[in-house]
Chain A
Amino acid sequence: MLSAFLSAFRTPDLRKKLLFTVGIIAVYRLGATLPSPGVSYGNVQQCIRTMESGEGNGVFNLLNLFSGGALLSLSVFALGIMPYITASIILQLLTVVIPRLESLRKEGQAGQAKITQYTRYLTLGLGILQASAFVALARSGQLFNGMCQEFPIIPEGTGLPTWLTVTVLVITMTAGTGMVMWLGELITDRGVGNGMSVLIFTSIAARLPSEGWTIKNNKGWAMFGLVLVLVLVVITAVVFIEQAQRRIPVQYAKRMIGRRMYGGTSTYIPLKVNQAGVIPVIFGSSLLYLPSLLLQFFDQNNLNGWQTWVQNHLVQPDSPTYISVYFLLIIFFTYFYVSITFNPTEVADNMKKYGGFVPGIRPGKPTADYLDFILSRITLPGALYLGLISILPNFFFIWLDNQQFQNFPFGGTAVLIMVGVGLETVKQIESQLMQRNYEGFLR
């Protein structure tokens, strides 16, 4: 399968898709480096240098991970794909609650397009909210934990009124979010892989080298090697579970159409142990980010009762509450996402339509019940695995060193996302290769 990388480039349309994806990634990275108007880039660099020499623990480690370092420099794409993810979680959760959305979802293509439209509007709304929060944060100097007061990120007294600068900043960042959303959809449509996941993957990949470098500098080569080995073990474990399938045999009835005999074949429905992929992890971590975003709206230095509670239990990533809430969220989202993406009734109906049946089970409702039975049983280990993998490495890092824990990219969440997206994308490339090579064979 490694040769797929090479032969992928020999196939013209696949080469085009790959290059297109790389091009989009380049645009994404360019926007992530480009500072927004009104931001003093020199001062930002100065601040980052100050942070790196000191104890680098800003509030934004997780979010910075997802935005690939773009956030600290208040770049055009500083918000990244995060508002879009949050919006799609909210809409998917609302689909269960609001009957109108539910009926839209069942309507098929047109209804789906409507929901996508709502998601986009919500994304822009969330974008404005987050952009204002970050601009306020940057102006008060809290983006760098108040450690960088002498170099204001947004300098004042430049001849332009402050309100204009701030408005332009918020507008730019919101527009950037809209553009990132569009880039993601372009990748899904014309490139390789799922756009949203590919962009998150890119952001994580952008942070890895510098984080690895920090570990090497602080701990030496031995610890660096140990971390690499740990990552490799996690990768193998993730691949192992991702590839595990429960195969449900399906038999197709023979039938005559004209003079030809059709069907009579036996295949299987592959039900993966982890049918949901990496989406639950992404959802869980971005949902858990919301409390710390909420706290940004209040004065950091005198939080009242519940705010301190939130700060201690839901924002600190090494508190037991945070870890258990994260775990439970992942389990919930696994079941939730599986129920959204795999509809047993629909699969059973389709099978019935084409004369397929599971040996020993009647077609129609009993088959749907049977699939549902298996799915709900097989998802439990899948959910537990997702939760454990995203939590266990964090324990390792806590045990290793509390300070080092800030270097999140090597935690389970990031590795899980990387492996998941990698597998998904490579498989898509491979299937398109197969499609091309055996075209004459199939038709």
Chain B
Amino acid sequence: MAEKNRRDEDDNDRLDDETIDDVVDDDADDEADEPVGRGGTATRERTKADSADSRPKTRTEGRVGIFGRLARFFREVVAELRKVIWPTRKELLTYTAVVVVFVAVVLTIVAGLDYAFARAVLWVFGGSS
């Protein structure tokens, strides 16, 4: 939640920046700002990874090599994992309790049904050998 709010604030800030830019009517500045403005979280991450490779940007991705690409992929996975919102302790406990209760209820129902049916079937078909 907190992270989401913060991101919203960021967005607002950026909007403000742009309006101010418009008021000043400075085109050059606007263009310089644009790549930064466009960079959402992941894109920014990607450009960072690119620059970390310290290779000329004109080269295609295929030149990085399989290990380089794998390493970058894993870095990106970790970066995405950091943005994951994990359940809180309270949530975790509630859901675990709910699942346990649910499983217990179904277990009881099925066990009861099975017992009854097994008795009935044994009564009807059993005995022969």
Contact = CB atoms under 8 A, between A and B. Distances in A.
Interface of A: 1-2, 4-5, 22, 25-26, 29-30, 33-35, 40-43, 45-46, 151, 201-202, 205-206, 208-209, 232, 235-236, 239-240, 243-247, 249, 251, 266, 268, 273, 358-362, 370, 373-374, 377-378, 380-381, 418-419, 422-423, 425-426
A188 to B, nearest CB: 17
Interface of B: 4, 7-8, 11, 37-43, 46, 73, 76-77, 79-81, 83-87, 91-92, 94-103, 105-107, 109-111, 113-114, 117-118, 120-122, 125-129
Contacts of B8: 249, 266
Contacts of B113: 25-26, 29-30
A45 B126 contact: yes
Contacts of A419: 99, 103
A240 B7 CA distance: 25
Contacts of B83: 246
Given A34-B121, A236-B96, A41 B126 contact: yes
A380 B99 contact: no
Given A202-B106, A381-B77, A239 B85 contact: no
Contacts of B107: 205, 208-209
Contact of A35 (B86, B102, B111, B125): B125
A33 B40 contact: no
Contacts of A201: 106
Given A243-B91, A245-B85, A359-B11, A42 B126 contact: yes
A362 B96 CA distance: 40
Nearest to A359: B11
B38 A418 contact: no
A39 to B, nearest CB: 9
A45 B95 contact: no
A240 B92 contact: yes
A381 B84 CA distance: 11
A360 B103 contact: no
B99 A422 contact: yes
Contact of B39 (A30, A34, A360): A360
B44 to A, nearest CB: 9
B52 to A, nearest CB: 17
Contacts of B121: 33-35, 41
Chain B: interface secondary structure?
helix
Contact of B40 (A209, A361, A377): A361
A423 B126 CA distance: 39
Given A33-B117, A209-B107, A239 B81 contact: no
Given A251-B11, A418-B103, A240 B86 contact: yes
Contacts of B11: 251, 359-360
Nearest to B41: A360
B4 A45 contact: no
9 contacts: A4-B98, A34-B121, A42-B125, A42-B128, A45-B126, A240-B86, A246-B80, A378-B84, A381-B77
A359 B41 CA distance: 9
B114 A29 contact: yes
Contacts of B91: 243
Given A43-B129, A381-B81, A239 B92 contact: yes
Contacts of B111: 205-206, 209
A264 B86 CA distance: 27
Nearest to A198: B106
Task: Give the residue among B38, B101, B113, B125 with the most A Cβ atoms within 10 A.
Answer: B113
A268 B4 contact: yes
A272 to B, nearest CB: 9
A427 to B, nearest CB: 9
Contacts of A266: 8
A244 B86 contact: yes
B129 A423 contact: no
Given A25-B113, A43-B128, A205-B110, 9 more contacts: A22-B109, A34-B117, A40-B129, A239-B92, A360-B37, A373-B76, A381-B81, A422-B98, A422-B106
Contacts of A22: 109
Contacts of A30: 113, 117
Contacts of A373: 42, 46, 76
Contacts of A251: 11
